[in-house]
Amino acid sequence: MRIAFVTDSTAYLTPQQVEAYGIHVVPLTVILDGRAYREGVDIDNATFYRLMAESKSFPTTSQASVGEFVALFERLLSHHDAVMCLLLSSQFSGTFQTAQTAAQMVGGNIYVVDSRISSYGIAGPLIDGVVMARHGASPEDILAVWEQELAEMNAYFVIDTLEYLHRGGRIGGAAAVLGSLLQIKPILTVRDGRIELYEKVRTRKRAMEFMLAKFAEAAASGRALQVGVVHSQREEEAAKLRSELEAAYPHIRTDISELGPVIGAHTGPGVLALVYYPRAEAVP
């Protein structure tokens, strides 16, 4: 069975991953100083973070159109038996609903799934699905694995400031004010598709220690964990963290992923996160 896989640009797949796994990526858009940029097409990460630092206004974001999804689904169904689409949390964006509408308009075997997360929380299970399809799995098999992996997804991230999340309406005002007043380093998580304040500590070092302690609890189970070290403009710190994790936990698999403009517009630079889940036994 020929299955095509689709996601949006907030999965933050590398160009190498897109090519190796044959994944189709629908770009979302960031608007900065009145100019619209398609993520991963019109602007790269380094340029975006530089422009955001220089700008006096906060960036905004927008989703892809129904027409873009319709055109892609029609093209893919012309030479595939099914299309499987794993997208950014419906609590972050209307992209999932837009793709659902497009799928209903096109008809056929199109499966649109709300990841309830972003970045590596999409990329990891998506790649697992591609690998399964290459070994003969059906869409129903893949949907079952996605449901399992997404239900067991963990995401903890350290962020320099809550200002961007507050301005973008992604976190409550009380939490943002508290963070500013106390100069805390907030640790955030994702619950039911929403960003929530998980813990408050005074230093970035303490935040990292807390995050690693949570990871150690999961790793102690001995299950095969798939781990994304996610960052925004913290390449060296992310690489160091990845090396430390691989040395301490030989049974895990790791990737590094950088947040691009659409998610970065809401978090700002300076994010370091661990996104991880037990890889389903059905994944080869």
pLDDT (tens, 9 = 90+) of the chain, 284 residues, equals 999 999 999 999 999 999 999 999 999 999 999 999 999 999 999 999 999 999 988 899 999 999 999 999 999 999 999 999 999 999 999 999 999 999 999 999 999 999 999 999 999 999 999 999 999 999 999 999 999 999 999 999 998 777 777 666 655 554 555 555 456 788 889 988 888 888 888 888 999 999 999 999 999 999 999 999 999 999 999 999 999 999 999 999 999 999 999 999 988 899 999 999 999 999 99
Kindly report the backbone phi and psi dihedral angles of residue 249, in degrees, each rounded to the nearest multiple of 5, phi listed first: -130, 85
| Bridge partners, residue 230, by sequence | 257, 273
DSSP 196-225: EEEEEESSHHHHHHHHHHHHHHHHTT---E
Cβ-in-10-Å burial (0-12, 13-18, 19+) of 77 comes to: middle
238 token code pair:
């992310």
Domain 3-148 has CATH 3.40.50.10170: yes
Query: What are the sequence ranges of the domains in the chain?
Result: 3-148, 154-278
Cβ-in-10-Å burial (0-12, 13-18, 19+) of 172 comes to: middle
186 token code pair:
């907030």
Of 284, 238, 276, residue with least CA distance to 124: 276
Task: Look at domain 154-278 and name its CATH class.
Answer: alpha beta
Q: Checking phi first, is residue 137 left (phi over 0); if not, alpha (psi -120 to 50) or beta?
A: beta
Amino acid type, 214: K
| CB distance 3 to 83 below 8 Å | yes
